[in-house]
Amino acid sequence: MTVRAAVAGASGYAGGEVLRLLLGHPEVEIGALTAGASAGMTLGQYQPHLLPLADRVLGDTTIDELGGHDVVFLALPHGKSAKIAAELGEDTLVIDCGADHRLEDADAWHRWYGGDHAGTWPYGMPELPDQRGVLQGAKRVAVPGCYPTVSSLALAPAFKDGLVEPEAVIVAVSGTSGAGKSLKPHLLGSEVMGSVSVYGVGGTHRHTPEIIQNLSRVSGGAVAVSFTPVLAPMPRGILATCSAALKPGKTIEDVLATYDKAYGDEPFVHVLPTGSWPTTGAVLASNAVQLQITVDPDLRRLIVVGTIDNLTKGTAGAAVQCMNIALGLPETTGLSTVGVAP
């Protein structure tokens, strides 16, 4: 089986990571690469690490360029996916790495992103309960956000099995690539290196409603989330410290049994042995999620620390994983739990 794949937004970080993975995917042939302002330039000027594609010229993000492929990955700014997806037709598998089709609530979309809601697509987190089936044969996939990926996978089993109270406190430390290539002063190397900062505190980050949506869905009830994103001096990786109060009578043994049941057979989610703590370095460039689970003895809070590579499992790896599922390929094809370290 040869899958012809196109990537829209190939000059950005998410698009570049999709291409990095596709170059190692045995069933994929890379077709059109498109961009916005960078159209007409070679890919090598934007992604010098993708040497085999260095001479490829970026086209415009139009149906002329993107039509005729088996799968089209959209790595576009939010608000841009709906129009091109509509033109691509029902036969093409369209995988949106952006935010446009993640939220189910149109009002929430409007409040957090502005503009009209583009609709809701099958949500590309196969490790959530009953979600893998939704993705099989799907023609549209909304790739989850990076913070929601690690936060939801860290807490979903505990919420699903009713082990914790419905309030979560999440502090997630991220590398800078999550903000994309946007030219903002606070993203300059001089500002970022040697310094850690917070932004969007107090429930103001756009990924908050997506985390709430996921945890509410698995718990079957309303969940409140306090989410604080922290920017750290590294290009990639997220480490999320996620906690919630353990319900009376529940124990760490209950928790470990729940997580073992949820993730024991998952190829990409790995619960670390006791005493071994996750680092983002261990998942760099891999599709793995590493979790460590404990109960704070003082407060009886469940604390789950999770790590992912925001560009791989947090974006492009999930996109390729969902492509595999949607097309009926083995789910792990072209993906790896082997990171690059040190």
Q: Name 157's Cβ contacts closer than 8 Å, sequence gap at least 6.
A: 258, 259, 261, 262, 263
Region 75-104 residues binding a second copy, contact defined as CB under 8 A: none
Q: Which of 27, 20, 22 is nearest to 329 (CA)?
A: 27
**Annotated catalytic residue 242:** no
Q: Which region, left, alpha or beta, applies to residue 162 given φ > 0 means left and ψ of -120 to 50 means alpha?
A: left
Q: Min. distance of Cβ 10 from a second copy in angstroms?
A: 14
Q: Min. distance of Cβ 325 from a second copy in angstroms?
A: 21
Return the range that interacts with a second copy (CB under 8 A); candidates 78-86, 87-95, 321-329, 333-341: 333-341
Number of amino acids touching a second copy (CB under 8 A): 90
Q: What mask of x and - would describe binding to a second copy in positions 165 to 204, judged by CB under 8 A?
A: --x-x-x-x-xxx-x-x-xxx-xxxxxxxxxxxxx-xxx-
Region 202-231 residues binding a second copy, contact defined as CB under 8 A: 202-203, 208, 212, 224-226, 228, 230
* Near a second copy by CB under 8 A: residue from 39, 234, 256, 257: 234
Q: Min. distance of Cβ 111 from a second copy in angstroms?
A: 12
Instruction: Please report which helix (H) or strand (E) contains residue 22, including its range.
Output: helix 13-23
Give the neighbor-by-neighbor strand order of the sheet with 59-60: 59-60, 28-35, 3-8, 71-74, 93-96, 140-142
Cβ nearer to a second copy, comparing 16 with 124: 16
- Counting contacts by CB under 8 A, is residue 149 touching a second copy? no
Q: Which residue, chain included where needed, has tokens 């929601």?
A: 148
Return the range that interacts with a second copy (CB under 8 A); candidates 41-49, 64-72, 148-156, 254-262: 41-49
**Which neighbouring-strand residues pair with 302?**
244, 295
Q: How much is the CA Rg of the chain, to the nearest whole Å?
A: 19
- Counting contacts by CB under 8 A, is residue 276 touching a second copy? yes
The angle, 0 to 180 degrees and rounded to 10, between the axes of the packed helices 208-219 and 106-113 is 160
**Which neighbouring-strand residues pair with 303?**
243, 294
Region 283-322 residues binding a second copy, contact defined as CB under 8 A: 283-286, 288, 290, 292, 294-299, 301, 303, 305, 307
Q: Which of 71, 53, 51, 63 is nearest to 7 (CA)?
A: 71
Region 239-258 residues binding a second copy, contact defined as CB under 8 A: 239, 241, 243
Interior angle at CA 47, CA 230 and CA 149, nearest 5? 35
Q: Min. distance of Cβ 202 from a second copy in angstroms?
A: 4
* Near a second copy by CB under 8 A: residue from 31, 67, 77, 235: 235
Q: Min. distance of Cβ 134 from a second copy in angstroms?
A: 27
Catalytic residue set: 146
